[in-house]
Amino acid sequence: AQKVTQAQTEISVVEKEDVTLDCVYETRDTTYYLFWYKQPPSGELVFLIRRNSFDEQNEISGRYSWNFQKSTSSFNFTITASQVVDSAVYFCALSEARVSGANSKLTFGKGITLSVRP
Amino acid sequence: DGGITQSPKYLFRKEGQNVTLSCEQNLNHDAMYWYRQDPGQGLRLIYYSQIVNDFQKGDIAEGYSVSREKKESFPLTVTSAQKNPTAFYLCASRGRDRGGNTEAFFGQGTRLTVV
């Protein structure tokens, strides 16, 4: 069984603060994919990042960075110098990989509501 | 443009009626998914299909049914057996690229209200 836990439900910060969104996952597979999505108030889901389980290199994209730690089954997301436009719900997701290559079940966490105040 | 189309955006139905939500993709993806979103519950998987003519129950399949007769289409029927059908429904698809299985591409969603 696979599971994604986002223990933080709501976070509120002042603009320009750094904020880290936590994601802890559970899977019995050794090969899997992890994702982060953003859902602004408009409702559409915006893809942010995909990470394969065999690639533990951390990634930085502008003000966004991701820390993947297999030892603690965590895939945390940090926003540096937050802005009001970062206000949204953020979801972490997990999908186990199949030997056949077929796409399998994709499980989401409950999401973290981030509010960035001016 | 390639993408996923869900229709309609808003749907109202009377209690006890079945209703079918449409999802079409032109991304040539094998896998398609249906999620339900309620406040504070995140995205919960209803059904998914890895390939045409095949589908699997997700975590909350009771009261729902799907079909996958064509690669491009994955309609979801909310039956009268679904006890609390009012929700935001999201359809997604996934394919493969050089990096393996891709991320999920989502439609704009259908907000279903049962009165």
Q: What is the pLDDT of residues A69-108, one digit of tens each?
A: 999 999 999 999 999 999 999 999 999 887 676 768 899 9
Q: Which of B33, B103, B110 to mutate to test the interface with A (most CBs of A within 10 A)?
A: B103
A106 with B104: Cβ contact below 8 A: yes
Strand partners, B105: B93
A103 is written with which tokens?
């796409």
Mean residue pLDDT of chain A comes to 93
State the smallest CA–CA distance between residue A109 and chain B in angstroms.
Answer: 6
**Which residues in chain A are closer than 8 Å to B47, comparing Cβ atoms?**
none
B5 touches chain A (CB under 8 A): no
How many A/B residue pairs have CB atoms within 8 Å?
73
Say if residue B21 is exposed, middle or buried (CB neighbours under 10 Å; 0-12, 13-18, 19+).
buried
Taking CA–CA distances from A111, the nearest residue in chain B reads B42
Cross-chain CB nearest to B109 (options A43, A47, A93): A43
For A44-103, strand residue ranges (E) read: 46-52, 59-61, 64-69, 74-79, 88-96
Q: Which of A66, A106, A107 to mutate to test the interface with B (most CBs of B within 10 A)?
A: A106
pLDDT for the residue A101: 67
Using a pLDDT cut of 70, give the percent of chain A over it.
96
pLDDT for the residue B46: 97
Question: Taking Cα atoms as reference points, which of B16, B51, B59, B2 lies closest to residue B35?
Answer: B59
pLDDT for the residue A89: 97
Strand partners, A31: none
Distance CA A43, CA A73 (A): 28
State the smallest CA–CA distance between residue B70 and chain A in angstroms.
Answer: 17
DSSP one-letter string for B86-110? -EEEEEEEE-EETTEE-PPEE---E
B51 with A93: Cβ contact below 8 A: no
Q: From its phi and psi, is residue A22 left (phi > 0), alpha (psi between -120 and 50) or beta? A: beta
SS3 state of residue A30: coil
A52 with B99: Cβ contact below 8 A: yes
**Which residues in chain B are closer than 8 Å to A35, comparing Cβ atoms?**
103-104
Least confident piece of the model among A33-37, A60-64, B39-43, B61-65: B39-43
A97 touches chain B (CB under 8 A): yes
Digit-by-digit pLDDT tens for chain B (115 residues) are 679 999 899 999 999 899 999 999 999 999 999 999 998 889 999 999 999 999 999 999 999 999 999 999 999 999 988 989 999 999 999 988 877 788 899 999 999 999 8
Q: Which residues, at least 6 apart from A100, have a Cβ–Cβ distance to it below 8 Å?
A: none
State the smallest CA–CA distance between residue B24 and chain A in angstroms.
Answer: 16
Distance CA A36, CA A51 (A): 9
Cross-chain CB nearest to B101 (options A33, A44, A107): A33
